[in-house]
């Protein structure tokens, strides 16, 4: 009997255990299962956020000029007699400026603009034939107010697209408020130049590459062969005219000064009142001779020779070569590699061979 009771108790215990487990499962089904199902449902309905695409590194571009632009350059002849110093305007927008000797021991400037909208340019003066060679090497529309006989002849012979204030006065205005002699008061603007170009139906695009190659990263000239410090550059043009550049190491540009036999003067813009600066200087010499009683010059722009490229406080020796009047001048380091210049404006200073250049 006792054995039967034990077996009966065991069966009861098992039944109770089974019932208890069923109750637990039931409770789990009511309270736990929905959570599990809900969790699965949330996972299914969860929208995966799209992966953020990594931006490609920004491509650096040259700032001084749009290298992708095919618009033609515009070359403007600038008066540079000392009478107009302090009244010159717009040179800060030119990305290349040429300086060369003219009669009287003075120099004249030819400023090269590309895609600019400068509102006051000048004062504008007359053409000399050797400046045409540098307008041609940039496929530039040539803006001037008058010309020597030889320059007028060459403009016609060479087919230079030009706007001459002597024959198209609508492209210029006289600023008589300056109190200067009339020949020093002619100014223009990019708006007037564009109207003149449209009137003459000149070509406005070009396939000619830029004269200079530019580097988006700063070029360190100090480690190059033949490099010398260039904190001050003195370029003598005649017994009465010189140009000086002094290095500003903070802003990494050269401050420009114009000199007479007596003193140097800051080259300052009339509108902004700021001194003109240069990021790059290229300087070399060419054969020059006086050809008439007025002291006018003839210059041999073709051929080749030596010079210097100057930037960021250092100068390195270079060579130059120009095959024809209209071909581009090629500048090379002594190892034969074509130079690259720093991103900024460039003054190309072309001296007579009998004048001195001092770099210190």
pLDDT tens column, 223-250:
999 999 999 999 999 999 999 999 999 9
- Quick: pLDDT tens for 86-100: 999 999 999 999 999
Over residues 213-225, the mean pLDDT reads 96
Which pLDDT does position 51 carry in this prediction?
Answer: 66
CA distance 170 to 196: 8
Helices 129-136 and 149-158, packing angle to 10 deg: 30
User: Tens of pLDDT along 264-308?
Assistant: 999 999 999 999 999 999 999 999 999 999 999 999 999 999 999
Of 225, 215, 275, the C-alpha closest to 245 is 275
Q: Residue 12: pLDDT above 50?
A: no
CATH topology of domain 74-359: YerB-like fold (3.50.90)
pLDDT at residue 35, as a whole number: 45
Instruction: Say which range, 8-17, 72-81, 198-207, has the weakest mean pLDDT.
Output: 8-17
Confidence at residue 2, expressed as pLDDT on a 0 to 100 scale: 45
Q: Residues 155-168: pLDDT tens digits?
A: 999 999 999 999 99
Give percent above pLDDT 90 in the chain: 83
Task: Check: CB of residue 269 under 8 Å from CB of residue 187.
Answer: no
What are 99-146's pLDDT values in tens digits? 999 999 999 999 999 999 999 999 999 999 999 999 999 999 999 999
Per-residue pLDDT reduced to its tens digit, 27-73: 444 444 444 444 555 555 556 666 667 777 778 899 999 999 999 99
pLDDT at 10 over 80: no
Q: What pLDDT does residue 266 have?
A: 98
pLDDT at position 358 is: 98
On the 0-12 / 13-18 / 19+ scale of CB atoms within 10 A, 58 is exposed
Distance CA 167, CA 190 (A): 18
Q: Is 43 exposed, middle or buried (0-12, 13-18, 19+ CB in 10 A)?
A: exposed
Token readout for 266 is 């800051």
Instruction: Look at the alpha carbons of 227, 320, 81, 143 in this order and tell me if their dihedral is positive or negative.
Output: negative
pLDDT value for 58: 78
- The domain locations on the chain are 74-359
pLDDT at 211: 98
pLDDT interval class at 186 (50, 70, 90): very high
pLDDT of res. 30: 43
Say which residue, 22 or 218, is predicted with more confidence: 218
- How far CA 284 is from CA of 2, 53, 216, 230, 304, in Å, comes to 129, 52, 25, 15, 10
Res. 11 pLDDT band, cuts 50 70 90: low
């Amino acid at each position: 009997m006792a054995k039967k009771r034990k077996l009966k108790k065991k069966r009861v215990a098992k039944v109770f255990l089974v019932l208890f487990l069923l109750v637990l499962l039931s409770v789990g089904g009511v309270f736990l299962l929905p959570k599990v199902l809900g969790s699965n449902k949330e996972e299914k309905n969860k929208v995966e956020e799209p992966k953020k695409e990594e931006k490609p590194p920004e491509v650096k571009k040259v700032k001084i000029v749009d290298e992708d632009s095919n618009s033609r350059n515009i070359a403007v002849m600038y008066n540079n007699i000392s009478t107009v110093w302090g009244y010159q305007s717009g040179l800060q927008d030119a990305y290349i400026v040429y300086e060369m000797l003219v009669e009287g021991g003075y120099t004249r400037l030819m400023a090269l603009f590309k895609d600019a909208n400068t509102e006051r340019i000048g004062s504008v003066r007359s053409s000399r034939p050797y400046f045409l060679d540098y307008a041609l090497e940039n496929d530039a529309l040539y803006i001037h107010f008058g010309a020597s006989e030889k320059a007028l002849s060459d403009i016609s012979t060479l087919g230079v697209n030009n706007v001459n204030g002597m024959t198209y006065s609508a492209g210029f205005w006289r600023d008589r408020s300056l109190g200067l002699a009339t020949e020093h008061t002619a100014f223009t603007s990019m708006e007037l130049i564009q109207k003149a170009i449209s009137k003459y139906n000149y070509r406005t695009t070009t396939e000619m590459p830029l004269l200079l190659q530019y580097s988006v990263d700063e070029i360190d000239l100090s480690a190059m062969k033949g490099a010398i410090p260039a904190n001050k550059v003195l370029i003598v043009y005649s017994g009465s005219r010189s140009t000086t550049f002094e290095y500003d190491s903070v802003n990494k540009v050269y401050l420009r000064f114009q000199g007479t036999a007596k003193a140097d003067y800051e080259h300052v813009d009339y509108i902004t009142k700021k001194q003109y600066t240069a990021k790059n200087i290229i300087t070399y010499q060419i054969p020059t001779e006086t050809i008439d009683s007025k002291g006018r010059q003839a210059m041999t722009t073709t051929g080749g020779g030596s010079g210097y490229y100057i930037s960021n406080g250092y100068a390195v020796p270079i060579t130059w070569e120009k095959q024809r009047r209209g071909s581009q001048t090629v500048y090379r380091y002594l190892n034969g590699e074509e130079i690259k210049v720093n991103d900024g404006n460039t003054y190309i200073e072309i001296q007579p061979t009998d004048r001195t250049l001092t770099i210190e």
